[in-house]
Amino acid sequence: GAVVSQHPSRVICKSGTSVKIECRSLDFQATTMFWYRQFPKQSLMLMATSNEGSKATYEQGVEKDKFLINHASLTLSTLTVTSAHPEDSSFYICSAQSRLANYEQYFGPGTRLTVT
């Protein structure tokens, strides 16, 4: 089946630094990738949608300059949290979508970010 990986699974960084999270579709080409954020005991909230080779579309209230998304190839999207602050600590989840799989979204296992 379709597999999506995320790296790293956990990361701790200091306030003011930037951290990059990778999302890869391992056995299929993903025309679209999605980035979600999940707070404890809350829903997954869609942050942005990215299509390969074009700029990401951000949801209302998500800072574009804070959460940089790059979808450089059909198998890789990255989320960079810039100048991280403790309130950015959260669980970040990506998903990848393929038109060949009836547009179903396949999810990565998530990345736990802790900003100290």
In the list 97, 98, 111, 113, the residue contacting other proteins (rule: CB under 8 A) is 97
Which C-beta is closer to other proteins: that of 63 or that of 104?
104
Compute the least distance from the CB of residue 115 to other proteins, in Å: 23
User: Under a CB-based contact definition with an 8 Å cutoff, are residues 4 and 108 in contact?
Assistant: yes
Task: Indicate whether 27 belongs to the interface with other proteins (CB under 8 A).
Answer: no
d(CA 76, CA 71): 6
> Is the alpha carbon torsion for 20, 96, 25, 92 positive or negative?
positive
Positions in the binding site for other proteins (CB under 8 A): 4, 32, 34, 41-44, 46, 49, 93, 95, 97, 103-110
